[in-house]
A and B are shown apart, each in its own frame.
Chain A
Amino acid sequence: MNDVDDELLRELRGRVRRVVGPVAASGPRKRVMEEELLAHLIDVYQEEACVGAGVGASAEAAGRRLGDVAELSRQLQASVPLIERVVFTWLGGKDNPMSRFWRIVGGIWGVAALVTWAFVFAMREFRVPSMVVLVVGVGLVALCWARPRVSWLVGCLGVLFGTSMILPALAKYAKDHAATGFPLLVLGALIVVGGLGYVAYGVAVRRVRTA
């Protein structure tokens, strides 16, 4: 048995982390990948060392047998379920100027907005406005995704759009004291909050680019 000392273990682990690190996936899934690939790499190292190669040559051969780092990362990424991939790409994007905390807040906002939208859509009288909200919302988010520099402008539009939903809903409530407009009010408020978030994001993007 060719023992693996601390230094070699660090090297092999580093190699595995270069493969698994860029994969957008949950922590437990990445830990499974890391441990399994490390066990494989150690087995292969021991196999190579048994035929008489030195420590460095055996580690090198083990890495070669594992394959190209970027290609393997891409293949591992493709094995991650789509929803998990989208969520962890959002949470783990290194070129995103927002901190992880704000990305989590943004994600929670997105889920809340979607759930509220579903409630509004379920009400017959709001079906058409909710479709308009969906189309406009998806369009604005896509615009921000494609052109992050205009996020502040998109945010301003979001604030105006959300306000245009809140004010009539408030007026209706003041007039009839009916709670039917409540989901629309919540959705409008969420859009305003999201718009403010996009304004802040747009400012952060401009700051990072200027720096």
Chain B
Amino acid sequence: MASIGGDTLRGHLEMLILATLGRGEAHGLEILRRLEAGGCGLLRLKEGSLYPALYRLEAAGQIAATWEKETHGRRGARRRIYRLTAKGGRRLKEVRGEFEQFVSVVWGILGVPT
């Protein structure tokens, strides 16, 4: 099966991040690990692309971040721990509904039984 990456993934990245954080707070690399695990190895994302999406979500108030206390051998560089806000939770619910509808419409057109 072909991997999913580039523009296809970028269009849905924010939704995937919200869903990932719906399972609990996480730092950037942990979010990537969860995405990788959920995508069964088929998601191909340049790791740096995650951060602009996180900053956009943070600016929109859908996620919030705090610096971690320990640097764990990273010589002063700390990670930021992201969590879903109430607004983000509502948005996640909305996009789940929208995506469900989109998938059922597209599957209907493609002739895939739902």
Of chain B, the residue at the smallest CB distance from A12 is: B77
What residues of A have a CB within 8 angstroms of the CB of B80 in the complex?
32, 36
Do residues B46 and A36 form an inter-chain contact, with CB atoms below 8 A? no
Residue in B27, B46, B51 whose beta carbon sits within 8 Å of that of A65 in the complex? B46
Whether A99 sits at the interface, judged by CB under 8 Å, is no
B69 smallest CB distance to A (angstroms): 13
Could you give, for residues 8-48 of chain A, a 1 whenever the CB lies within 8 Å of some chain B CB and a 0 otherwise? 01000000000100000000000011011111101110100
Residues of chain B from 10 to 47 with CB closer than 8 A to chain A in the complex? 27-29, 46-47
Contacts of A3 in B (CB 8 A): 73
Which of A46, A67, A79, A81 is close to B47, meaning CB atoms less than 8 Å apart? Answer: A67
Contact B46 A72 (CB under 8 A): yes
Contact A79 B79 (CB under 8 A): no
Considering the chains assembled together, what is the distance between the CA atoms of A66 and B71 in angstroms?
A: 20
| A76-B52, A79-B52 known; A39-B77 Cβ under 8 A | yes
**How many chain-A residues does the 8 Å CB contact rule pick out?**
29
Residue B48 lies at the interface, judged by CB distance under 8 Å to chain A: yes
Known: A36-B79, A44-B47, A81-B59. 5 other contacts (CB 8 A): A40-B51, A43-B29, A44-B29, A67-B46, A71-B46
- Closest chain A CB from B11 CB (angstroms): 14
* Chain B residues near A (Cβ < 8 Å): 27-29, 46-49, 51-53, 55-56, 59, 71, 73-75, 77-80
Interface residues of A (CB under 8 A from B): 1, 3-4, 9, 19, 32-33, 35-40, 42-44, 46, 65-68, 71-72, 75-76, 78-81
Taken together as a complex, chains A and B put the C-alpha atoms of A102 and B73 apart, in Å, by 43
Alpha-carbon gap, A27 to B4, bound state (A)? 35
B contact residues around A36 at 8 Å (CB): 28, 51, 77-80
Q: Are B73 and A40 in contact (CB under 8 A)?
A: no
With CB as the reference atom, state the residue of chain B lying closest to A8.
B75
Q: Are B74 and A79 in contact (CB under 8 A)?
A: no
CB closest chain-B residue, reference A38: B77
Chain B residues positioned under 8 Å from A44 (CB to CB): 29, 47
Kindly list chain A residues whose C-beta atoms are within 8 Å of the C-beta of B78. Answer: 35-36, 39
B64 smallest CB distance to A (angstroms): 13
- Sample 11 A-B pairs with CB under 8 A, ordered by A number: A3-B73, A19-B48, A35-B77, A36-B51, A36-B78, A39-B77, A39-B78, A67-B49, A72-B49, A76-B51, A79-B53
